[in-house]
């Protein structure tokens, strides 16, 4: 073979090799793109099944033909029933696979609940509590759950995954005499500190007992409620426990007493709450009144609404309290101090609307009493006391028994437009002394 022919054959073979190498590289690149997709497909859930029509596996024309999932198809052609796997964006045209839910635009795993109608570890709150360790959290699915807990451990009861409609009602088993409770502690003889936390629950009375209440605590128990609704019972929350309690983002209505606290020491925080439509008091505090000990109990109320409670919106006996923001409106109607009652305590009210409250005798807006100990009230910021009604002292009334005193500051520009039903005593502010007579306080300056 001459050199020219040899070179020609060699060039031809080289070109073929180059083409083979190019095809091989292309195939390798294609494989590198496909293999991850194959791997991903292997981890995806099985396609959703169609309804009926055996042998037509997953074929569909529209979403309603799929038992679960959605119909994915091109225009004019049949599609297949599919469901969106985890982490895939979910829209109106996609349905998450079983066991997943659309949250923040992504298909995510459904939170496993401790208590639900079926498929959970427990089918009652009582059973879950009995099995729970001290300090545990019990998550509860939507539904109505008759509950009777004698609290003997620290526990959190929480709506599962933020579920709506998680309703706890007294089941009639936990009681003190004729009073029925959803959650109660012992008679106060316990000495172990406990904490009860309620999150996202609805506590609903059923009328089981003549003095039905929903939560009652005695002894060293701290109570926290967040995002709850409490309604339709003789007592919403009765707390006879020293400690640091908090009620936030909670609505309490349709009870006799909405919130009742009786304690000798501790701190109470009420924030962003609505306390309305209760048959007696919205908030009732019974705390130390002596100046030397009243600071043992502090009450901090912020951005909360007390309205349309039949007796008094806020009743504070003793303690050192502050109310900032929010409103006290439409309360009263009987001889129970209208909007706000302060008895032998210390209170600062800042940026609060106090209006539309009624008392058949005196102190429609604010009533301050000093029988056993002196009282101190300060109105500050943009607080207004206006449009309240009473026989006497429709704005601010102070009843004083010697040698005690009432100090009220900041009233001169904030109390106006209140209505006295006794035209002979048309006073915005007045005091009642030992003689039993009411005396006008000119300019509402009590100092």
19 band by pLDDT with thresholds 50, 70 and 90: very low
Residue with tokens 């879950």: 128
User: What value does the mean pLDDT take over residues 281-301?
Assistant: 95
Q: Residue 106 is encoded by which pair of tokens?
A: 């992504």
Which position has the higher pLDDT, 237 or 33? 237
350 band by pLDDT with thresholds 50, 70 and 90: very high
56-67 tens-digit pLDDT: 566 776 666 666
Q: How far is CA 236 from CA 118, 180, 204, 205, in A?
A: 30, 12, 9, 9
What percentage of the chain exceeds 70 in pLDDT?
A: 74
175-198 tens-digit pLDDT: 776 678 899 987 666 788 999 999
| pLDDT value for 238 | 93
Q: Say if residues 410 and 383 touch (Cβ distance below 8 Å).
A: yes
Which position has the higher pLDDT, 421 or 3? 421
| pLDDT value for 447 | 57
242-276 tens-digit pLDDT: 999 999 999 999 999 999 999 999 999 999 999 99
pTM: 0.77
User: What value does the mean pLDDT take over residues 366-381?
Assistant: 88
Q: How far apart are the first and last CA of the chain?
A: 128
Strand segments, DSSP code E, in 287-393 are 297-307, 312-317, 320-329, 340-343, 346-350, 353-355, 366-370, 375-380, 384-386, 389-390
CA 274 from centroid of its chain's CA atoms:
10
Query: What's the mean pLDDT when you consider all of the chain?
Result: 82
| pLDDT value for 139 | 97
CA distance 46 to 85: 9
Residue 243 φ/ψ region, left for φ over 0, alpha for ψ in the -120 to 50 degree band, beta for the rest: left
Q: 42 pLDDT exceeds 50?
A: no
> Mind giving me the DSSP string for 392-444?
B-SSEEEEE-TT--EEEES-TTTB---EESSGGG--SEEEE-TTS-EEE-GGG
| pLDDT value for 159 | 96
């Amino acid at each position: 073979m001459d050199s020219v022919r040899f070179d020609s054959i060699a060039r031809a073979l080289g070109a073929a090799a180059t083409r083979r190498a190019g095809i091989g590289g292309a195939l390798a690149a294609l494989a590198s793109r496909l293999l991850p997709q194959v791997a991903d497909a292997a981890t995806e859930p099985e396609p959703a099944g169609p309804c009926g029509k055996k042998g037509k596996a997953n074929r569909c024309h529209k979403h309603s033909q799929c038992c679960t999932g959605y119909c994915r198809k091109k225009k004019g052609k049949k599609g297949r029933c599919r469901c969106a796997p985890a982490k895939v964006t979910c829209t109106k045209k996609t349905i998450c696979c079983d066991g997943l839910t659309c949250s923040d635009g992504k298909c995510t795993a459904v939170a496993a609940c401790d208590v639900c109608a079926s498929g959970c570890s427990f089918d009652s709150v009582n059973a879950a509590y009995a099995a729970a360790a001290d300090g545990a959290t019990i998550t509860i699915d939507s539904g109505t759950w008759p509950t009777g807990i004698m609290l003997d451990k620290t526990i959190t009861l929480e709506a599962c995954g933020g579920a709506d409609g998680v309703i706890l009602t007294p089941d009639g088993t936990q009681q003190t005499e004729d009073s029925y409770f959803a959650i109660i502690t012992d008679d106060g003889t316990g000495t172990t500190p406990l904490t009860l936390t309620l999150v996202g629950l609805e506590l609903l009375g059923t009328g089981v007992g003549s003095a039905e209440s929903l939560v009652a605590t005695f002894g060293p128990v701290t109570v926290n409620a967040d995002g709850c609704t409490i309604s339709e019972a003789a007592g919403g929350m009765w707390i006879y426990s020293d400690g640091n309690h908090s009620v936030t983002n909670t609505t309490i209505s349709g009870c006799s007493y909405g919130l009742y606290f009786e304690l000798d020491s501790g701190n109470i925080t009420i924030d962003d709450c609505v306390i309305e439509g209760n048959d007696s008091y919205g908030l009732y505090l019974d705390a130390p009144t002596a100046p030397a000990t009243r600071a043992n109990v502090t009450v901090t109320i912020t951005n909360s609404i007390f309205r349309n409670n039949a007796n008094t919106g806020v009743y504070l006996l003793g303690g050192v309290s502050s109310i900032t923001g929010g409103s006290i409106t439409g309360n009263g109607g009987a001889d129970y101090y209208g909007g706000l009652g302060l008895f032998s305590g210390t209170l600062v009210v800042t940026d609060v609307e106090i209006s539309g409250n009624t008392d058949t005798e005196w102190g429609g807006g604010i009533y301050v009493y000093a029988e056993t100990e002196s009282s101190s009230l300060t109105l500050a910021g943009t607080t207004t006391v206006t449009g309240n009604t009473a026989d006497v002292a429709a704005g601010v009334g102070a009843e004083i028994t010697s040698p005690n005193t009432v100090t009220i500051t900041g009233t001169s520009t904030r109390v106006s437009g209140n209505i006295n039903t006794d035209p002979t005593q048309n006073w915005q502010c007045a005091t009642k002394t030992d003689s039993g007579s009411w005396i006008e306080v000119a300019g509402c300056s009590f100092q």
